[in-house]
Structure 1
């Protein structure tokens, strides 16, 4: 099955529009502060990844955004309107998958989506069948039969939950662990779908324990730790140069002799070179008659950034690693 984006492109998005804004958002459960004074700004049109260790407050934050949990203090705006005061007009424009996909397990996936659509705000009966079929097609379940959802695999259930989030062609999509249960091909297909939806005008916000997936998909990231938002920045700005350059050459021994002490490591045809300017390294090798097959500036990974912010000794952070981020 192939994931496709058949939704119309969203026009009229203005530069500087805000999809999400929170001010001093706080949630306490007795003596426990789950979310602590979060000021979050997600511009419209970005692909935003929310990361953090287990218990950092990510899921509680997302639930407050949707009005599923009432804040102890602070405020929330979605798509320019205060929540939960304007939930009736805002939520039909928001698609969401929070924690595990809900379903009537004895019914088929198609029947589930029809019931969800009928129960939700703003559902239009006259084109319900078309919208359900389109949503299933987009997530790779277009050929689903009448078998009950209880017979679905975990990956199929996850696809169905995302289809439910796409029923209303949302302006804002909030997804919690959207690739959970998907195989590598399914993860790639989901990335393609979310990128296409974003290019069509949908703001995509997701939390995930797969740092590599967030790094591949998102244009902006936020990191939470102990209930606080400790970082919100464009991904390109975070991935700063490390001061190292990878050089690939068919003559590594000669290249190492030319570069001398600047070489910090060698593996096969690749050299790691300490240098501020990759072009200068290339010029030096070419002047010495050394062929250069490849030259790449090394940059910090998203994993390095998150570990620095949440404790390098923690085993609570996962890339495609271990553990889970909530």
Structure 2
């Protein structure tokens, strides 16, 4: 089975900017651990298509881990804006600093060593150890879970099935070439053994697939029903200064949702009443902002005001119009800005 998968991967591997192709691997080239680490952190809870552009911009700005370690945190957070799960961006720079300062710019080459770094959990440590250093490590992402569940016709629903699926993946992981094997399993799940309409007729592992033999491949892996997400309400305040058009922004606390990111003053989305950041004639935007986080849906009222040059906010600071860049804000705050725009002076709508 491993031989068939390897032969398929050598001909069908996806081309990605952080990868070494099977041909280059056979010729002796090896991946850059920095690029493997960066891609794996970016790919958490995110699609390959969404990550490509971010990865290329990051590696152009910070081509190695020491360059990233020297980067101002605000620059890293701004470059990350739009990828979501912002704790990853904070951990990214913290991890780079640890590698630069304590490991002379070299990533540890074992799972245990990698897990000691900020932001690297069991899956990411296994992926880096296998792909970057060719250590035998069991790499199980969503694609691999699906392939394994079907190969062994494992019907226990997720997430309860995860320990069993990892044990089955362990049985398939070779002693040598674990990184190439892991990437082959990921590619198989992404391109052939897909969630809907698996293309069993061209799958290199079809002959040994128990789910295909039983006609239940498309039904696996089974998933336990998800509880309905609660809805939380909040408010965001968009204040503009007369004359120069400066915009009031604040940096959110380092921990929590959107931690450390720049945005419009608001609340913690826990339901408590929130006072405006300064006294003004606040008016509600006509559009309510809706956004979904992992564990809840959020509804935001957007309040807009224009204030004088003598305004002194209780929190945050005014950012000059020619410096303010809505595109550098996290996705939620870009939605807030879009909702506020119709109520703003025409200069902001150009």
| TM score, norm. by length of structure 1 | 0.23
Higher relative CO (Cα under 8 Å, sequence separation at least 6) belongs to 1
Name the one with the larger helix percent: 2
